[in-house]
Amino acid sequence: SPPTDDVLSVEDLSKRFGGVSAVAGCSLSIQRGTITAIIGPNGAGKSTLMNLIGGLFPPDSGRILFAGRDITALPPHRRAELGLIRTFQISRELAQLTVFENVVLAGQTDALESPFAAFLRPRQVRREERQLGLRARALLERVGLFRLADEPAASLSGGQKKLLELARALMLDPQLILLDEPAAGVSPPMVRELARTIRDLRDEGLTIGLIEHDMELVADLADRVHVLAEGSNLTSGSFREVTSDSRVVEAYLGI
């Protein structure tokens, strides 16, 4: 097939849960260097699609291509190694650690975690840890959390936690970051800060995919929007284009 600018594409993807078709013949793509939003009414299949892309469970049929490679059968950690990262909420255990420790841990490679780490020369381990620390500091600066580096993650506001999730994802040097409702539970001033950071990252060449209910944020950020309804891609275009499409209005109103 000819080369494209798509970093991710899903082709005719389907997933059923018992009798429910959560994702049904969905095809869409995310172009490199864009912020691409996936919107749609409740139950449209957005979270299931995100889980399929992340590799949480396999599709019943269809393919997922990442950077030109078929990743449909790869487990989540292999997708992450290739540069496909989705953010996750900071778990209860991680909340006890500091903001800095959270970011360092996100970047820790298998080499340091494996039982063979004991056989690595201590100098090598120290060097790797120092590099992780420097990188973590730089990323905390990047997302505006540096002054909170030594605070427990649990003490952060909702919006600051989203920025921390972003810094953790960036430790893995992603090509594509998938954000699931980044504005949920975030105060309006922090939504603006988050939006600015996301836009800056896009301008620096990162590709960002997001599921979001906050239509103001989607209008503000998204270069391209895919509208999901009943498990498949109803239409795609700019925010203005898709929201002036009568089929989209009908899907949201449930007509």
- Measured on CA atoms in the order 37, 41, 42, 43, is the torsion positive or negative? negative
8 A C-beta contact, residue 13 and residue 26:
yes
> Which residue, among 160, 165, 189, 184, has the nearest Cα to 47 in the 3D structure?
184
- Does 1 bind ligand ADP (CB under 6 A)? Our answer is no
Residue 45 site contact among ligand ADP, Mg ion, none (CB < 5 to 8 Å, cut-off depends on kind):
ligand ADP
- Does 54 bind ligand ADP (CB under 6 A)? Our answer is no
- Residue 244 phi, psi (nearest 5): -100, 10
- Does 45 bind ligand ADP (CB under 6 A)? Our answer is yes
> Which residue, among 218, 201, 156, 209, has the nearest Cα to 180 in the 3D structure?
209
Nearer Cβ to Mg ion (46/168): 46
Nearer Cβ to Mg ion (45/107): 45
What are the residues binding Mg ion (CB under 5 A)?
46-47
Torsion angle in degrees (nearest 10) through CA of 15, 17, 21, 24: 0
Tokens (6 digits) for 228: 């999901």
CB of 44: closest distance to ligand ADP in angstroms?
A: 4
- Does 47 bind ligand ADP (CB under 6 A)? Our answer is yes
Residue 76 site contact among ligand ADP, Mg ion, none (CB < 5 to 8 Å, cut-off depends on kind):
none
- Does 44 bind ligand ADP (CB under 6 A)? Our answer is yes
Per-residue DSSP letter, 10: E
Tokens (6 digits) for 137: 């500091």
- Residue 41 phi, psi (nearest 5): -65, 165
Residue of the chain from 22, 139, 169, 208 that contacts ligand ADP (CB under 6 A): 22
| Helix axis angle, 158-170 to 122-142, nearest 10° | 130
Scanning 44-52, 138-146, 151-159, 162-170 for contacts with ligand ADP by CB under 6 A, the matching segment is 44-52
- Does 246 bind ligand ADP (CB under 6 A)? Our answer is no
CB of 150: closest distance to ligand ADP in angstroms?
A: 36
CB of 54: closest distance to ligand ADP in angstroms?
A: 13
Scanning 16-24, 64-72, 134-142, 197-205 for contacts with ligand ADP by CB under 6 A, the matching segment is 16-24
Three-state DSSP state, 146 = helix
- Residue 120 phi, psi (nearest 5): -70, 145
- Does 254 bind ligand ADP (CB under 6 A)? Our answer is no
H or E element at residue 133: helix 122-142
Nearer Cβ to ligand ADP (43/76): 43
Three-state DSSP state, 222 = coil
Residue of the chain from 5, 17, 110, 114 that contacts ligand ADP (CB under 6 A): 17
Nearer Cβ to ligand ADP (28/139): 28
Restricting to residues 123-162, name those near ligand ADP by CB under 6 A: none
Tokens (6 digits) for 60: 């019943």
Residues at the interface with ligand ADP (CB under 6 A): 17, 20, 22, 40, 42-48
